[in-house]
Structure formats: structure tokens, C-alpha cells
Amino acid sequence: MTNTNSNSSMSKSQPLPSVPFLDIGRENAPLNAEIQEAIANVCKAGYFVMGPECHKLEESIAEICGVSNGIGCASGSDALLLSLIALDVKPGDEVIVPSFTFFATASAVWRLGAKPVFVDIDPVTYNLDPAKFEAAITPATKGVIPVHLFGQSADMKAIGEIAKANHLFVIEDAAQAVGATCNGQPVGSLGDVGCISFYPTKNLGGFGDGGMLVTSNDELAERLRLLRAHGMKPRYYHKEVGANSRLDSIQAAVLNVKLPRLEDWTVSRRRNAGSYDEMFRAQQLNRYLTLPVTQSGMRHVWNQYTIRVLNGLRDGLRAHLQESGVGTEIYYPVPLHQQQCFQALGYSAGSLPETELAASEVLSLPVFPELKIEEMQTVVHHIARFYQSRIPSVTTQVTPGVMTNA
């Protein structure tokens, strides 16, 4: 755990510096020369789509996920869509998904003419509630897509047992969770297929869109490879109608440079999350905020550090932090079952109470690997100031340079 004491000479009277929600530049800058060389090598070779760099990345990600196959594709969203196609989802089928997630989890189902069935979340982890999943199964249910939200695995033991008993497929949406584990087993290896995103804001982010499918089912892997390239094998011979969803070699080259640093970045994110916990408890702010929890047996990789702001104060706190120069984000302000495009499914207000409550209370704070201890102290200081203006008993001791441990 990082020591939250600081020897900073910053005076209390000086204005505190701004804190970005995410600073990708800090991550990329030390790797710039190596990345430029890797890109130059791709340009020199002229193999811009599914070249040797892509094959190297596929092998590396498969190893991290503990599976035998990695299949690169154009995005995490495409990974979900390709998985559903490969598992023969058709119009009229139902696929159970959480509503508290990024849009792609459900839109992939909808695009195939199938029905996304939204179920509620565990209010502690924000992940799919296994009991709600089981209760939503009907004769039309084909499978389930649990999401490892914010970097923590869903309860895959319970979900897997329910799915197996009902002969359902399991697609892991691991877009935010590469490197996370559940009871010692890597995410991506816990279902039929796992879907990973390399969008630049992810823990392992490229210079644009990119994705990966991971599976130990060799037959499924072969079909996914076929589907990502127009269903074509050999060239100009099409066994079925696929898509154009190939990973480009420049993205793979960048990711190959970054991948050896992923574990160090994960350790830093975990340390930052622990430091936040210490600071909030030292200030007793956990009386007014609900801090994120890592469930037993889970290795959390902290794609996001997400607090719950109680008593209807979330938007006010966010505005205060924005005015103070602290970046935040809300994942996700409108649950999917309440999105306009899914109105035809007939969900009413209150139908998923834990999801709707979370959407009104969650607030994600900066947690990126290069975040400095002084910056975290600044974040907590401004949060304490917000509550001090409303609750006189709250003190503001978390000024950079004077922080004390809990």
C-alpha cells in the first residue's frame, strides 16, 4: 500500500493544481520512441492488416487470458457481435444482459434481431446479479453476457453453473477487465468466449479502435476467424456471410509495445485505489460516500474507481469537482433499459431498481497508473471541502503535504 504521507512543500495558501480524469499522454510519452519504431517497421513491411504484429498480439493476449486462441478484430463492440453470430443467435432468441453497462453489450444482440433481456445488478459490485439472471430465463433464452464492470469480474462461478444447467452460452464482456481474475482464473477463460476492447481509454489501450476474442474452443475460434474476414477462406471463397472486422497491424504494433507494461500499470491502479480508500476513511468521508469493494477471490484491475454519492448529492459534487479542476466521469448516467432506442422493449421506471439507483449515484474518480499521490490528495481534499460546506462536522485535512494515514 502506498504511504499517503507527503513531504510536498506546497503551501496551503497556494491554489491546488488541476487533476485530469485520465492522462493518456503520461502513459504514452515514455514509450514514444519504441512505439514510433514499431509503427515504422509496419510501414516498412507494408503488411497493414492482420500482419505478424497481429499474430504476436493474439498469442500474448491468449496467454494472459489462459486460453488457446486469440482472434483480433476491429473493436470490442465487434467482438461481441461476432461472438453472437458464431454462437448462432437468430431473430426471436433472447440474450440476458445487464442494463448497467456500455451500449455495445446490448446493441450487438439487437442488431441480430434478437431480444436483449435486461436484468438488475448486484448493488455492491455493479455486476450482473446471478439470481436475477436465473429468474429471467425463458424457453427463448439462448445465452447470457455478464460484464466485468470497472475491472472486477462478475460472479462467474454462479453464472456459469446457472448457464450450464440451462444449456446457455456465456459471452464474457471483458472490455474493461483484461488481467482481472476470478478465483485465480483469468477473465476471458470463464465462459465460451471473452471479448476485449483496446479503445484508448482502456487499461490496455491502442491508438484507435481494436478488439480481441479469446476462447479455448478451437471450433468456435475457427468460425470467429472466418467471420471477422467476410466469411472468406481461402481468398475469394466465402463459406458464409461474415464482416469486415480485422485488426490492423499498426494498432497491434502499438499494443505489443504496451503489453509488457500492463502488469506494472495494473499494480499502480490497485495501489491508487488502496490509497483512495485510506484517505477517504482517514477523513471519515466513507460516512457520506460508498467506496468500491473488491469481492473475495477477485483480482480487480480498476479500469475505474467508482464511488457512490448518497443523498442526491452526486451532481452537485461533480459540479464542485469540475469547478475545482478535478476530472470525473459518470458510467453510466442512463441505464440501457431506459434508452430511447430500447423503448419498444417496454421497461418502465423502477423495473430495475438497483440499476436505476446506481445510475443516479455513481461517480468515477481519476485512478490512472501515473496519477501522483499529491493529485489523489487534491481530489479527496476537494471532496471534503464539498461536504464541509454542507455538514459542519466534516474537516478538511487532506491538503497535499499534510495528509495523515488512517
**Structure confidence by residue, pLDDT tens digits, 230-261:** 999 999 999 999 999 999 999 999 999 999 99
Closest alpha carbon to 164 in 136, 135, 144: 144
Q: Tell me the one-letter amino acid at 349.
A: A
CATH class for the domain made up of 29-260: alpha beta
Residue 404 has pLDDT above 70, yes or no: no
Please name the CATH architecture into which domain 262-388 falls: Alpha-Beta Complex (3.90)
Euclidean distance between CA atoms 314 and 296, whole angstroms: 28
Euclidean distance between CA atoms 3 and 135, whole angstroms: 45
Residues near 141 by beta carbon (within 8 Å), at least 6 away in sequence: 93, 94, 95, 96, 117, 166, 168
Residue 402 has pLDDT above 80, yes or no: no
Residue 16 has what pLDDT?
A: 85
Under 8 Å between Cβ of 117 and 136: yes
**Which strand ranges, in their side-by-side order, compose the sheet holding 298-299?**
185-186, 181-182, 298-299
Residue 354 has pLDDT above 80, yes or no: yes
Residue 2 has what pLDDT?
A: 42
Q: 279 — alpha (psi -120 to 50), left (phi > 0) or beta?
A: alpha
pTM: 0.93
Task: State the DSSP code for 190.
Answer: S
Residue 9 has what pLDDT?
A: 35
Residue 325 has pLDDT above 50, yes or no: yes
User: pLDDT tens digits for 39-78?
Assistant: 999 999 999 999 999 999 999 999 999 999 999 999 999 9
In 10 A of CB 350, how many CB atoms?
A: 7
User: pLDDT tens digits for 253-271?
Assistant: 999 999 999 999 999 999 9
Closest alpha carbon to 371 in 285, 265, 240, 249: 265
Closest alpha carbon to 252 in 211, 224, 308, 280: 211
Domain ranges of the chain: 29-260, 262-388
Give percent of the chain above pLDDT 90: 91
Euclidean distance between CA atoms 20 and 31, whole angstroms: 20
Residue 398 has pLDDT above 90, yes or no: no
Residue 393 has what pLDDT?
A: 65
Helix (H) or strand (E) holding 306: strand 305-309
Q: Do domains 29-260 and 262-388 have the same CATH topology?
A: no
